[in-house]
Structure 1
Amino acid sequence: MTSDVIAPAAVSAQEREALAEAIRDLVARRADSASARAAMRATPRIDRGLWQTLCAEIGVSALPIPEDAGGAGASFAETAAVLEELGRSLSPVPVFATALATAAILISGDDEAIAGLLPPIASGERIATVCWAGRDGWDRPGVHADGGLLSGTADYVIDGESADLLLVLAGSGDGTTLHAVDADADGVTVTPLPVVDPSRPLARIDFDEAPAGTIASGPDLPGRLRTHARALLAAEQVGGAAAALDLTVDYTKSRKQFGRIIGSFQALKHRMADMYASVETARSISRAAVSAIVTGDPAADDLAAAAHVYCSEAFARVAGEGIQLHGGIGITAEHDIQLYFKRAHGSAQLFGQPHEVIAELSRRLLA
């Protein structure tokens, strides 16, 4: 086993911004609202064309993967920049799920798994996701391992219906262990779930004595993976909040009431200024959390938890204000602002709800 702290290639802030602009341009050309909505209704719920383009032209799945495993040798800071842009469009592509699976493999430090599993992920040939949560959430896996066989149910699996490779956190006599299994393996049943947020496909995956490879990992894997998950999700939430703000500003520039553009009303200007402040402060804490992970800062866990709480609440607040400032049209299925409202509240349920994370941080302080 080796450490997952692999020195990434130096990427400047200017290069990272150029990457974000490339994603923004690609999404503008290939993933408008109509195509995103069509993908949300597809089976499976994925914009496969956009996913393949993102992997082939920009290499999004390869970014945090070391060069000797077929990757770009960058870092999760670049992945976060991609997720922030994709959070703006709500395009159903499995970038977040695959990044989390990549993090699980890297954190394990298992050289054989890194060499065998990461190259097809880096190329985009395989879509990977993490099976982690039990029915009650992410504190206790819903799957158990016994003699190399997996049994039980993983709930809330992100992009589970389109994944080829499943990274499974399972309870065992040794605590929590990590396993790799093909999604079409014997004993694996994938059930797409109905969701309030159509832009975030979730699945339930049942394992009935499914044979799986065991990936050597340490006892700190679940905690470190949760830190990555919260920080990367926060970046995506910032993008969603920024898009909700942009939609609201654009709407208030065109909507007239009492013979005036409603964006000229002082009260609405103040509300949108508060929304802008929420987005920018969320962006700051999100980037601080991601930076702490990349640099190995001991405060990464606390920063990621704080980012999860703040960005979840900021996104929900901005999307909620956006709904109100749009008026009646904001609650119709035809307008995109309601999609951001659903994404905001759905994302806040992942990896611990904000009030649960606050309680977790409080227990740490009192310990």
Structure 2
Amino acid sequence: MTSALLYTETEDDLRAAVRSLLADRAEPGVLLGRIETGDPYVPGLWKSLAGEIGAAGLLVPEELGGQGASHREAAVVLEELGRAVIPAPYLTSAVVATETLLALDTGSASVAELLAALAAGRTVAVLALPLSSAPGAWAPASGPVTGVADAAAADVLLVPRADGLYAVPADEAGIAPQNPLDLTRPLATVTTGPGTGTRLADAAMSTAAVERGLLAGAGLLASEQLGLAEWCLEETVRHTRTRFQFNRPVGSFQALKHRMAQLWLEVVNARAAARAAADALATGSPEAPLTVAVAQAYCSKVAVHAAEECVQLHGGIGMTWEHPAHLALKRAKSDQIALGSAGRHQDTIAALVDLPAPV
């Protein structure tokens, strides 16, 4: 199990490629400028990430036009996207929507064509459910759906209805932007008319497919939270080494050392939990639901704590718009309820291990 949590050479190479691309095209100043325009998506970035690097097709088998990789590689991409707080529909399209489609009949022409388009980065698909939807705690759409993440970037909406799963072109749906806390992950209210779209699966298959998509999304969201927490810790250590008070770097003060050491321990534990979840999903382990719940219950709290410490230990500059610490804090808080809150995942853990609630 320990060796399964280590990064392979291939994963390290993928990380280097993604980090280089993001450093070149989406450094913090660029993101802050995009957010001020109201459109956070960096032009051309998704095409490079999804198509040129091939990140969008990591979970898609080669015979369907993808890379034939696994959740481990997708987790590495999400770590890097989390570090840089990138506005990109990777979690929503390349993970949740893709995993949902892979659970359907891939021999169907409509499903296979959509998967090939997603893998090539030509199309973005989004599951029309609230971002807060957790595995085992969602319902088919019966009207307008609020809180749909990345709907503004979608070409196709996957709409679970009472009679099955439908693929609805985004231009045939009503998409009304909302005001999110996390400005780097836009939310919208989605409205689709009855009978619109192409039916991809019946009700039973639709339910199982959406469950698979949400489970993979929750498991790999832990890697995004890990990357965010790692950046917050590294940036805080860097700042406290160069910020002086009383002719000493503030990082040399014992109280701050203790806080950063505690945070380092939490990040190390979060890495183990996130990697375990990615590996369980990659290997199809029967323990995947439990491992994913553990990862989400733990990593969401670590990401928020790391972002809070980053803002506070940067002092006044951490409270300014010009420093990216606020982007990390807002993403961490948004992720804390994405795909299920920590409390809901704790309830899942209790149910899976038959742990009775306290009386």
Task: Tell me whether 1:314 sits opposite 2:314 in the alignment.
Answer: no
Structure having the larger proportion of residues in strand: 1
1:148-182 CA distance string (max 9 Å, x none): xxxx122221110111011122234xxxx322111
Counterpart residue number, 1:9? none
Q: Distance in 2 between matches of 1:170 and 1:283?
A: 36
Equivalent position SS for 1:37: helix
- Tell me how far 1:142 sits from its aligned partner: 5.5
Q: 1:227 aligns with which of 215, 226, 244?
A: 215
Q: Which runs of 5+ in 1 are unaligned?
A: 1-11, 145-151
Relative to structure 1, is the Cα distance of residues 218 and 334 closer, same or farther in structure 2, using a 3 angstrom cutoff? Answer: closer
Matched residues, percent identical?
36
* Counterpart amino acid of residue 167 in structure 2: A
Give the Å deviation of 1:118.
0.9
Give aligned pairs, total.
Answer: 342
Equivalent runs, 1:294-305 vs 2, <5 Å: 294-305=282-293
Unaligned 5+ segments in structure 2 are 1-6
2:102 aligned with 1:115? no
Match of 2:46 in 1: 51
Three-state SS of the structure 1 residue aligned to 2:286 is coil
Within a 5 Å distance, the mapping from 1:194-273 to structure 2 comes to: 194-216=179-201, 217=205, 219-273=207-261
Q: Give the corresponding residue for 1:140.
A: 138
> Any idea what SS the aligned residue of 1:167 has?
strand
Do the aligned residues in 1 keep the contact of 2:165 with 2:206 (CA within 8 Å)?
Answer: no
Query: 1:148 is matched with which residue?
Result: none
Q: TM-score, normalized by length of structure 2?
A: 0.90
Assess, with a 3 A threshold, how the Cα gap between structure 1 residues 226 and 253 changes in structure 2: closer, same or farther.
Answer: same
> Retained in 2: the 8 A contact 1:263–1:269?
yes
The amino acid of 1:179's aligned partner reads: Y
SS of the equivalent of 1:361 reads helix
Q: Tell me: CA distance 1:218–1:32, structure 2 relative to 1, closer, same or farther (3 Å).
A: closer
Counterpart position of 1:350: 338
Which structure ranks higher in relative contact order (CA pairs < 8 Å, sequence separation ≥ 6)? Answer: 2
- 2:278 paired residue number: 290
Q: Against the structure 1 CA distance between its residues 156 and 35, is the aligned structure 2 distance closer, same or farther, given a 3 Å change threshold? A: same
Check if 1:163 corresponds to 2:163.
no
Q: Which stretch shifts more, 198-207 or 34-43?
A: 34-43
Aligned match of 1:102: 98
How far does the alpha carbon of each residue in 1:131-152 deviate from its partner, in whole angstroms, 9 at most, with x for none? Answer: 1239x855233613xxxxxxx1
Q: Secondary structure at the match of 1:141?
A: coil
1:209 CA drift (Å): 2.2
Q: Any conservation in 1 of the 2:92–2:217 contact (CA below 8 Å)?
A: no
Please name the residue that 1:127 is paired with: 124
- Give me the TM-score of the superposition, normalised by structure 1: 0.88
The aligned counterpart of 2:4 is: none
**CA distance, structure 1, for counterparts of residue 155 and residue 212 of structure 2:** 24
Following the alignment from structure 2 to structure 1, what is the Cα–Cα distance between the partners of residues 102 and 116? 12
Look up the match of 2:171: 184
